[in-house]
Amino acid sequence: MRPLVFLCLLLSLGGCLSSGPQQQVTQVNYAARYPANGPEGYILVANGSGDSGTLTNHLNKAIDSTSASLAVETVNWSHGRGLSFADHVDRDNHLAQGKRLAAQVLEYSRASNSPKIYLMGHSTGCAVILAAAEHLPPNSVEKITLLAPSVPDTYDLRPALMTARQGIDSYHSTKDQYILGLGMMILGTTDPDSRSAAGLHGFRLVYSGPNDGLLYQKLRQHHWDPAVEWSGNDGGHDGSISTGFLKAYVIPQLLK
């Protein structure tokens, strides 16, 4: 019991599998930003657990300072503000909310002159993004971005790689020792039978057929390097969702 109590305290102080203290999501007037034909793409964002709005807010700030024609929409998947532990361990909710997100993506695809759709998640939110991808037809979204994913490192990405036309970018860091290291060792990843998160060392590839190698060419794994620290990414759990790193690295990679 003592390690579990320690972990709950650690998570509550550190933002609990999200990017820090919960934030109110900033509303953006996209009609004013893109008055003519609307944005060229929508990024559907699953923030970290505990109803954190940090990734949404930082992504909007990063886009504001670029010429990217992108709109951000938050995926409301959480049990509620501060309920980080419940969010992380509720695998049934990840699957249910992923299915709901997939239906939203399909609604976009049915619209006339539908924009490009990108899926982006942070920490536990990545479980929702990947669950959504598994309910979608091939090539139905442009790209998937996973930031410090707390899903197992053995997670089978092949269904999501088929869904994303231009594949998956996943960002991990071995410096994320408190949340994705100690935290996952005690609590487990989004799969309680696994103690090793993909956001710490990257995904281990699952092979079962001769065509899998070609599919994995669409997976790009980005390991944290001290060279990016200038952007605000110190390698910690919220480093990859800092505004500077999103602007300098994540958005350019998204639009390649």
Would you state the pLDDT for residue 249? 98
Would you state the pLDDT for residue 40? 87
Would you state the pLDDT for residue 199? 97
Domain boundaries 2-11+25-254, CATH class:
alpha beta
Angstrom distance (rounded) from CA 155 to CA 106: 24
**Residue 41's beta-bridge partner residues?**
70, 116
Would you state the pLDDT for residue 85? 86
Would you state the pLDDT for residue 28? 53
Angstrom distance (rounded) from CA 108 to CA 126: 20
As given in the structure block, the two tokens for residue 8 are: 């709950």
Residue 39 CA: distances (Å) to CA of 43, 109, 113, 142, 216: 10, 15, 11, 14, 30
As given in the structure block, the two tokens for residue 254 are: 């998204």
Would you state the pLDDT for residue 1? 44
Would you state the pLDDT for residue 8? 52
Angstrom distance (rounded) from CA 251 to CA 256: 9
Q: Where are the extended beta strands (E) located within the chain?
A: 41-46, 70-74, 116-122, 143-147, 168-172, 219-223
CA atoms within 13 A on the CB side of 133: 32
Please give the backbone phi and psi of residue 103, each rounded to the nearest 5 degrees, phi first. Answer: -65, -35
As given in the structure block, the two tokens for residue 150 are: 């707390």
In the chain, what are the domain boundaries?
2-11+25-254
CB-based burial of residue 27 (10 Å sphere; 0-12 exposed, 13-18 middle, 19+ buried)?
exposed
Would you state the pLDDT for residue 33? 55
* Alpha helices (runs of H) in 65-124, residue ranges in sequence order: 84-89, 91-110
- Asked if residue 3 lies in contact with residue 11, where contact means CB atoms within 8 angstroms, the answer is no
Residue whose tokens read 């939203």? 104
Would you state the pLDDT for residue 210? 83
- Asked if residue 148 lies in contact with residue 202, where contact means CB atoms within 8 angstroms, the answer is no
Name the stretches of the chain with pLDDT < 50.
Answer: 1-2, 5-7, 9-16, 18-20, 31-32
Residue 50 CB coordination number (10 Å): 27
pTM > 0.85: yes or no: yes
- Candidates 100, 125, 99; CA nearest to 16 is 125
